[in-house]
Structure 1
Amino acid sequence: MNKNWIKVFIAAFFEVLWVIGLKHADSFWAWSGTVVAIVISFYFMIMAGRNLPVGTVYAVFVGLGTAGTVISGIVFFDEPFQWAKMILIFFLLAGVIGLKVVTGNNEEGAAS
């Protein structure tokens, strides 16, 4: 896997953290952690976007972040499990994986 795609996955991981932080932060330290997660998330997304097509990077970033946030809500925050949600996440991830496969590891769209 290309190092730029790894940056997208790291960005998506931190996106899940800051989205959870936006909902659950209730102290200075929780808000500080949320801000740090936002900065890390966007840093890695921007760095990946320098070498990969920006539209694909953003779609993968948001898709993985959305799936991770929904699954985290179910696993850690007692949100109700629904098969419909899981099926829709499956389709979302299929689209994200499809975009990554179609884009491949070429670095077209790279800035000069």
Structure 2
Amino acid sequence: MDSPGRIDVHQHLIPPAYREVLDRRGVTAAGWPTPAWDAESAITMMDRRSIATGILSISSPGTHFGDDAEARAVARDVNEYSAELAKDRPDRFGFFASGPLPDV
């Protein structure tokens, strides 16, 4: 790795439970197809681009799809998944927590 201290602060993840909600609701990020995502592929991409650490966050459309209770559950699932990644690979991942609030 050429720049061992490089940090990518804008890296999106798609946890399996979040993807299931998107697929079930037929929702995409502004019409873009939902890409496959897994930690090992993310690390491979980071290594190719000399990124030491990726700070993960959920992308558009966020976690709120009109139902407040579902939004809280989706945000919790995303945050728990992200926290496990950061716990298991603190050398490679950090994350911004997701909230259940609707986008405004």
TM-score where L is the length of structure 1: 0.33
Compare the two structures and name the one with the higher strand fraction.
Answer: 2
Compare the two structures and name the one with the higher helix fraction.
Answer: 1
Larger Rg belongs to: 1
